[in-house]
Amino acid sequence: MRPDWINDPIPCPSLTHQTRAMDRQNQLTKPPGSLGRLEEMAIRICALQGRDAPSLDQVRIVVFAGDHGVARAGVSAYPQAVTLEMVRNFSRGGAAINVLARQLGAHLEVVDVGVAADPGPLPGVISRRAGFGTADFRAAPAMSEAALAVACAAGAEAVRRARESGCELFIGGEMGIGNTTAATALACALLDEPPQRLAGPGTGLDPAGVARKVAALEEALTRHASALTDPWEMLRHLGGFEIAALTGSMLAAAQQGMPLLVDGFIVSVAALTAVRLRPETGSWLLFAHESAEPGHRAVLAALQAEPLLRLGMRLGEASGAALAVPLLRCACALHREMATFVEAGVSGGVNKARKKGI
């Protein structure tokens, strides 16, 4: 029952541009490899953009917001009302991601994919509601087939809008009280790990709250065990509207050949879902940061991902991804603008010369 578009073809990044970029990196006036991960990033962005002069001037950040029935199990440090309150805060420009988007000169969009109470029209907020929050997955599947399709499509549409606006890098973020629990449930199912191993404090649960979270996860995973037959059904039974939208955005970004920068734990679980649905998606993903949430490491390992930053962040809203953008922009600028050894009249390395018998 997956929507047909999910199986649309996914292109390969450009090997030609990758090879040329590797060659150029070795000609720039620096010891080969001395820019470390910035070299790797510049080369990957050349391959993803199919360009010799990579650029990330046009960055689009989309925060998907949704509520979670399981929030009533007391699995968050904050009441469910905070999801709506934060959507209003986004709309007024006062949240962390607003500040970061302004710093980056990035376009920020918020998509309501199913906050518990409909916020009505708000500036900068697009309504693509798949429901009034998900069902409590301890008792029922988190969402229906139809709602899942709506949420996934909301993510794909956001990528289409980004593409049409000339976006060079897509960033998805999330807001939803209880969504660390949903993401952890999904990660447990995808990785076949027990809740005890992956559950953490989220936005700041105390130990009693983490114990409630583990109990809720165990209940849900037991109840739905026989239905968790593939990543799509795992997403439907255990996910959230914003997690589904993020998954949809990644599939669509890969299909459209748009590089996508992955934020923290929750977005990484959506990435793992997308990669399990369509493994070719992985080629189009860059990883920004490792969050403080303990389960993130296991998810990153399954994705063979090595994020750029580790700053102990655990906010969500795409904030960790936003912080990696300046690093990627610097990597692109260095690749484009540094002089080569020949251009600058700088002598090459002695090791290299020796190897050549000079």
> Which residue's CB is nearer to a copy of itself, number 1 or number 208?
208
> Which residue's CB is nearer to a copy of itself, number 159 or number 292?
292
206 interacts with a copy of itself by CB under 8 A: yes
> Which residue's CB is nearer to a copy of itself, number 248 or number 295?
295
CA–CA dist 122, 112 (Å, integer): 10
215 interacts with a copy of itself by CB under 8 A: no
Beta-bridged to residue 112, according to DSSP, are 65, 127
**CA-based nearest residue to 43, from 333, 324, 332, 303:** 332
Cα Rg of the chain (Å, integer): 21
User: Order of strands, edge to edge, in the sheet holding 125-127?
Assistant: 125-127, 107-114, 59-66, 169-175, 260-262, 285-287
Structure tokens belonging to residue 135: 């069902």
**CA-based nearest residue to 238, from 316, 138, 154, 145:** 138
Residues contacting a copy of itself: total by CB under 8 A? 67
CA–CA dist 204, 306 (Å, integer): 25
105 interacts with a copy of itself by CB under 8 A: no
193 interacts with a copy of itself by CB under 8 A: no
**CA-based nearest residue to 243, from 175, 291, 303, 290:** 175
Q: Which stretch binds a copy of itself (CB under 8 A): 7-15, 245-253, 255-263, 331-339?
A: 331-339
292 interacts with a copy of itself by CB under 8 A: yes
> Which residue's CB is nearer to a copy of itself, number 95 or number 244?
95
**164 in active site:** no
- Smallest distance from the beta carbon of 55 to a copy of itself, in angstroms? 12
Interface ranges with a copy of itself (CB under 8 A): 28-38, 74, 76-79, 81-82, 85-86, 88-89, 92, 94-96, 98-100, 102-103, 203-206, 209, 292, 308-315, 319, 322-323, 326-327, 329-330, 333-334, 337-339, 343-352
- Catalytic amino acids? 317
